[in-house]
Structure 1
Amino acid sequence: MIAATAIAVSVFVAFQVASELLDWSLQDSAENQLRADSRVLAADAEHAGVARVQLPPYPGSGRLVRVILPDGSTRVPAGQPALPPVSEQAGRVAQGASADLMESGDSDEDGYLIYTLRAGDGAVQVARVADDSPINQFGFGMLLIGLFCVVGGALVGRTVARTALAPIDRLTAAAVRVARTRDLDADIPDEGGGEIRRLIQSINAMLAALRDSRRAQRLLAEDAAHELKTPLTSLRLNIELLVRLDRRGTLDTALSAESRTRLINDLGTQVAELSTLAAELTDLARGDVSDESTELLDLADVVVAAAAQAHSRVPDVEVALDVTSVWVSGRPAALQRAVLNLIDNAGKWSPADQPVQVRLRAEGGSAVLEVDDAGPGIDAVDVPRVFDRFYRADSARALPGSGLGLSIVQRVVDAHGGRATVARSARGGALLRVDLPAAAPPAPIARRAAGEGTAAR
């Protein structure tokens, strides 16, 4: 419809302009012919006199002539149709007031173009019936051409529109199918060109991201169910044992004080592990979704706070800090959680008489955090999977933990544009290293540091 309307408007405008040009051209040609004929008749009238000049016979159509005598009367060829009465302006030309006059006159049926030219003591007039047939024929032809163009334009426009929108129709059908079946595995065929192809590629990328998200969600649910099964079973058995002995009234006699204390301690440990696992699962399931805003912070403050928190949770673990001020842009709580997980992991392996060493320094354009222990280290076969969810080395099966701590570290580091790696420390244990992009410190601190450096030199 848009194409047909545009063509119709174009044809109409073209017709109006062409009609005006054609009418102007025809009238100009007719006026020139009337002037030429009038000059011939005027020359004869001046030679023979307007009263005696021989008027050409009427040819039956086309040109008409008339002589205006000094007294205002007229002479016309025999058999010629009557022209409109002599106008006042033409009479003044005959009286010598002006040299010539071009005017249009209308009779009852025909329109005339009349040219009056002074000749001798009168004037001669040559007229032509206005003929609109060329313009009418031209208009009829333009109408036929316009109708053909409008119909053709509508058909071509519809074909082009349907061809161009066919990929959109298939894209819409595919989107409706995905919404109805929840099936994210079928990609939309990559077809079309330009913006449509980029749209299809973007939707396919979105479907791939949704597939990955659903797969990760399913794996997380399956792994969580597997990991929760063992502590829940152990907790349920211990509670059932206590309930059964209590119902029998043999709780005090069946279990010694030492056994009861150990059982209650086991229950507390299992509840603590479940609480930790639930918290880590919640944190991991949230992914990068967080209400915490990114801010400019000193990573040394985060490391010190995490070390203090680790010591309050496990007082037996000693943490040796060697940190310098390094500024980064990040989320404080997330970074503190990642550092705490690194320290907790090292504390499980480090011997009681060997502290967990935590070092923070600036290296190039990065903030480098290293946490190492004096434990047995990580086997080469386990290194590629250290940061996987729920992965626990065979040697760590007996130790408390969920296998999620280092995977949370990996997620936090990735969200901050950093990199986490594992190696063997100089003390023979594991060395976990985190590299984060460093940021420029706030202006007052930068100026103070520069002043201290100048004073030191």
Structure 2
Amino acid sequence: MTLRRRIAGTASLAVALVVLIVAIGVYVAVRSQLRGEVDDALRDRARPVAELVQREAAFGPGRPIGFGPPEMHGPGRFGGAQGYVQYLSPDGSAQLPPDEAGALPVSDGERAIAASGEGEALRDVHVEGTHLRLLTQGAGAAGAVQVARPLNETDAVLHRVLWILVALGAGGVALAAVLGEGVARSALAPIRRFTDRTETIAATPGDPTQRIDVERDDELGRLAASFNTTLDALERSVEAQRQLVADASHELRTPIASLRANIQVLEEEDRLSPADREALRVDIVAELDELTALVADVVELARGAKPEQVHDDVRLDLIVSAQIDRAQRRAGADASFQAQVEPTVVTGEPERISRAVSNLLDNARRWSPPGGIVEVQLRNGRLTVRDHGPGFEPGDLPRVFERFYRSDRARATPGSGLGLAIVRQAAEAHGGSAEAQNAPGGGAVVHVSFTDSYEPLTHSGQAEEP
């Protein structure tokens, strides 16, 4: 069932309940009013009859009660509109006027009223198929008087009222259903347009620039604005993926072309000298190593800044020390590393952090002058690496962490331009940050934190109490 039908159905049900409650209230009120008028008429009819019975009973026992002239008790069967009269003696026996026939039913409670001569009782009875309203009223020492009146007219009026209420109720429910359908259609029209637009956008995933027009300042307008914000993020993500693929394709083209050329040359190795063949093999291996590193960097970047689900406590100081030893072995005498590392624990992915630290140290080593010093400091959970090379050009500083970005000076050196991009991505994936600047006195300095909180360790290797 559609939302529009549910809204219309709910409105119809609510109106039906209200109509039912109102109809019941009206019917009960009309019935009470009509019955009250009948009861008042019976009391007015019974009062003079009871007084007459008391006067006739005052002449002594054994005297028949005449109930007065016929107009006192009404002609015909059960008295018609004037009422039907019956006398109850104190012993409970019934006596009818001379011109009336057909005894009224007598209950134990009504015999008790006749015995006491006091009280009053009203009830509905059916006598020979006629619906009667029966009043029993005490008449003192004479017993009690019963006055009955047919309810045919009252029942007919109530039946007409009932049918009128049913007709009005059915009409009201039908009208409510029609109006509810119209209101639901009108209220849901913006949602239908919103849905149609979103389905159109979903059907054209190749065009992430589409947006939803925000024309309202209500909940639906806020929903459209939120949806557009999501589409903005999706467009940026798609554009980043396209750029990554394009940049990776461009960067992979050079080593693949070089490998192809060297392999083609190697097919004619019998025409090469042993020294040329060896140089060619070394060149192929180096290009394969470069291609492998580039693919690994692209795969690392493709992971994005989203962290993995499983994190461990990582000794950042041990990772930094191990990567410094590795970088020193690769640098040999071309560079030396000076480290000030304090024991530090962070929460994250050891492999990803280790890769970022390695890229950071390799970048500093590559730009250090021969025999230069690379200063490494880990303090308060923040890793700082400084080299004494040429530093960053002012125009390059805002872009040093971009994917595949290489400055004019870097284009003449090996590399893919992904090292610092991987550093920043790993830092942000752990809730940290990376920033670069030129150091006073020359050289470049990069600050990296892998989390917004850390745990310094004591000399015993235990985390300090906060």
TM-score scaled to structure 1, two decimals?
A: 0.84
1:292/1:331 contact within 8 Å kept = no
1:51/1:69 contact within 8 Å kept = no
Deviation at 1:394, TM superposition (A): 0.9
1:20, 1:198 → 2: CA distance?
50
> Which segments of 5 or more consecutive residues in structure 1 lack a partner in the other structure?
451-457
Aligned with residue 364 of structure 2, among 335, 346, 362: 346
2:463, 2:409 → 1: CA distance?
49
Aligned with residue 303 of structure 2, among 258, 263, 286: 286
Quote the residue 1:150 is aligned against. 173
Deviation at 1:430, TM superposition (A): 0.8
**AA of the residue aligned to 1:417:** G
Any residues of structure 2 matched to 1:101-120 within 5 Å, and which?
Answer: 101-119=121-139, 120=141
Please list the CA deviations of residues 360-414 of structure 1 after superposition, one character each: whole Å capped at 9, or x if unmatched.
Answer: 112xxxx221111111111111111111111111111121110000111111122
Please list the CA deviations of residues 104-148 of structure 1 after superposition, one character each: whole Å capped at 9, or x if unmatched.
Answer: 322334211122334353543222212223322332232122122
Residues matched between the structures, number: 436
> Which segments of 5 or more consecutive residues in structure 2 lack a partner in the other structure?
1-8, 58-63
**AA of the residue aligned to 1:437:** D
Q: Structure 1 residue runs of 4+, over 6 Å off?
A: 442-448
Q: 1:332 to 1:241 in 2, by over 3 A?
A: same
Q: 1:24 to 1:313 in 2, by over 3 A?
A: farther
Deviation at 1:427, TM superposition (A): 4.8
Any residues of structure 2 matched to 1:112-131 within 5 Å, and which?
Answer: 112-119=132-139, 120-130=141-151, 131=154
Quote the residue 1:237 is aligned against. 261
2:94/2:103 contact within 8 Å kept = no
2:314/2:346 contact within 8 Å kept = yes
1:231, 1:373 → 2: CA distance?
29
1:206 aligns with 2:230: yes
1:413 aligns with 2:424: no
**Aligned-partner SS, 1:268:** helix
Quote the residue 1:138 is aligned against. 161
**AA of the residue aligned to 2:126:** D
**AA of the residue aligned to 1:176:** E
Residue range with higher mean Cα deviation, 225-234 or 335-344: 225-234
2:303, 2:132 → 1: CA distance?
92
**Aligned-partner SS, 1:297:** strand
Quote the residue 2:5 is aligned against. none
Aligned with residue 46 of structure 2, among 18, 24, 38: 38
1:387, 1:95 → 2: CA distance?
111
Please list the CA deviations of residues 393-449 of structure 1 after superposition, one character each: whole Å capped at 9, or x if unmatched.
Answer: 111112111000011111112222322222222451111112442324589979775
Please list the CA deviations of residues 184-208 of structure 1 after superposition, one character each: whole Å capped at 9, or x if unmatched.
Answer: 2211233567654444344333322
Quote the residue 1:361 is aligned against. 379
Identity %: 33
Q: 1:84 to 1:267 in 2, by over 3 A?
A: same
1:166, 1:445 → 2: CA distance?
69
CA RMSD of aligned residues (A): 3.1
Q: 1:388 to 1:87 in 2, by over 3 A?
A: same
Q: 1:172 to 1:313 in 2, by over 3 A?
A: farther
Quote the residue 2:390 is aligned against. 376
Q: 1:61 to 1:194 in 2, by over 3 A?
A: farther
**AA of the residue aligned to 1:384:** P
2:458, 2:47 → 1: CA distance?
98
Q: 1:242 to 1:14 in 2, by over 3 A?
A: same
Aligned with residue 74 of structure 1, among 85, 96, 112: 96
Quote the residue 1:454 is aligned against. none
**Aligned-partner SS, 2:409:** helix
**AA of the residue aligned to 1:37:** R
1:121, 1:239 → 2: CA distance?
138
Deviation at 1:215, TM superposition (A): 0.6
1:93/1:118 contact within 8 Å kept = no
Q: 1:158 to 1:369 in 2, by over 3 A?
A: same
2:316, 2:107 → 1: CA distance?
106
Deviation at 1:338, TM superposition (A): 1.2
Deviation at 1:84, TM superposition (A): 4.4
2:113, 2:361 → 1: CA distance?
122
TM-score scaled to structure 2, two decimals?
A: 0.83
